[in-house]
Structure 1
C-alpha cells in the first residue's frame, strides 16, 4: 500500500495566482481547528509558541483539519532541533520557526528539517506519521520534497539580516511578525506605527530580492490589505481566540443593558 502526501505550502505558493490568506489556531482545540479549516481560508497556522499545545494536541488538530482543502502549518516554539524533529515526525509538512534573526540561525533551522547529508534531522519515519509508517514510497530519499520550512523575522536585527536569511538554502519563505518587531523597536503594542510598517516593508523588499516568498501577520484589515498591495505572498488575517473574544463581546454589548442605560 502506498500513500501520497499533500502538496507543501511552498508548492501551493508557487502555483498560486494570488496571495494565500490564512487563519491562526491558538486555542489548542481540535474543534476550533476544524471550524477554521472548513472556513474557505487557504492555510492554517497551528501555534505551539504562545498556545497551550503539545505534540498530542497538535496531532489532534492535524487530524481535524485533514478532511478539508486547507494547508496546515505549525509554528514550533523555538529553533530547537529536537522539537523540529518531533513535529516533523507527527506528519507536519510545513513549519514556521519564530525569532530568527541571523543567517546562521536560519542555517541551523534548515539543517534541523533535513535528513543527512544535507542536515541533521533524526531518522524515524518508519515509526512515525511523517512517512505514514513506511507507506509513502521513497519518503527518506524524497523528504525534502514533502517538507517546507519558513522562518519568522520579528526583531530589528532580523530585518537588517533579512536578505541573508532569505538566501539560506532550505528556507522556503519568510514571515514577518509586526508585534514582536514593534517591541524590538521600542514601540510595543504599536504594530501599525509608521516606523514599524516601514521596517516590515523593508523586509518585504529584501526577501523578495532574494527570490523568496514573504508573508506577514496583520489582524487589522486595513494593514492586511496594504501589505497585500505591497507584495505579501501570504498573510494571516485572524485567530480563532480573537474571533471568539470579539464576537462574544459583541453579543454582550448587543443584549446586556449598560449600567448607564
Structure 2
C-alpha cells in the first residue's frame, strides 16, 4: 500500500484556484468547524500559532474527517522540525522565511527520504505511515509531499527566480506583512510600492511554472487572483472570530 494521494498537491499542479483559512488558535473544535465550511485547505499554523506537535496531530486527525486538505506551517525550516511535522501526518508543509535558493533546496531535501533527501525514517512509530500499516510508505512518500516555501524579505524577492526553480518546491507563498516590514512599510501595508513588488513576484513564480500564494483580505482577493495567485489565504480563525464577536457586541448595544 503506497502513501495516500495528496490531492492538494495535484490540484496545485493543475493550476486550480485553491482558497483556504489560517488556523492560529490551536483549537480542535474550530478546526472541525473550518474543515466543514467549504475551504479547499486549512493551514495549521505552528509559526505564529502554537508549535505543539501533540495538538497539531489532533488537528490533522480532525481535518482528515472533513473534505478539507490540511497544511502545516512549521516555525522554522530546520530539518528535525520538518521531519516531525511530516511524521505527524502532514503531507503539505509550509516553510517560513526562505531567503535563498540554497535554503529552498535544503527545505525540500528535509522533506524527502534518501536518496532524494535527508528525511529520517521513523518506520512503524509514526502516524504518517499508519504506524506500520502503510507498507510502501517510505518508497512512495516523496512523490506525495507538497512543499510551500515563503518569500518574505527583499533577499527572497531578489532570488525569487532561483527559489521558484527549485525542483520539489510546489508553491512560493509571498508573505506581505514581513515583506512590507522589510521594505520599510511595516505600518503602511497599503503602500503601492509593496503591491507592485508582490505583483512582479507573482509573475516570476508563475513563469517558473509554480503555484503562487498569498494571504489577503477577501476584498483584496480578486486583485490577487487576476495577478496569478492560485493558493489564496482568505484570513484566519482568530481574526474571523474577533471581528464577528466585536460586530455582534456592537449590534447588541
Q: TM-score range by the shorter chain?
A: over 0.9
Tell me how many residue pairs correspond in the alignment: 253
2:221 aligned to which of 214, 224, 228: 224
Partner of 1:66: 64
1:52 aligned to which of 29, 45, 50: 50
Instruction: Please say if residues 51 and 75 of structure 2, whose CA atoms lie closer than 8 Å, have aligned partners that are also in contact.
Output: no
Instruction: Please say if residues 99 and 152 of structure 1, whose CA atoms lie closer than 8 Å, have aligned partners that are also in contact.
Output: yes
| Pairing 1:82–2:105 present | no
Instruction: Please say if residues 51 and 74 of structure 2, whose CA atoms lie closer than 8 Å, have aligned partners that are also in contact.
Output: no
| Pairing 1:150–2:148 present | yes
* Secondary structure, aligned partner of 1:236: strand
Q: CA deviation at 1:221?
A: 2.2
Separation in 2, partners of 1:35, 1:137: 33
Q: CA deviation at 1:137?
A: 3.6
Separation in 2, partners of 1:192, 1:129: 43
Partner of 1:5: 4
TM-score, normalised by the number of residues in structure 1: 0.93
Mark the runs of 5 or more structure 1 residues left unpaired by the alignment.
Answer: 257-261
State the Cα RMSD in Å. Answer: 1.4
1:130 aligned to which of 128, 147, 155: 128
Separation in 1, partners of 2:68, 2:121: 28
Alignment of 1:160-199 (within 5 A): 160-199=158-197
Instruction: Please say if residues 8 and 148 of structure 1, whose CA atoms lie closer than 8 Å, have aligned partners that are also in contact.
Output: no
Q: CA deviation at 1:3?
A: 7.3
Q: CA deviation at 1:173?
A: 1.0
Partner of 2:102: 104
Greater Cα radius of gyration, structure 1 or 2:
1
Separation in 1, partners of 2:12, 2:152: 22
| Pairing 1:242–2:239 present | yes
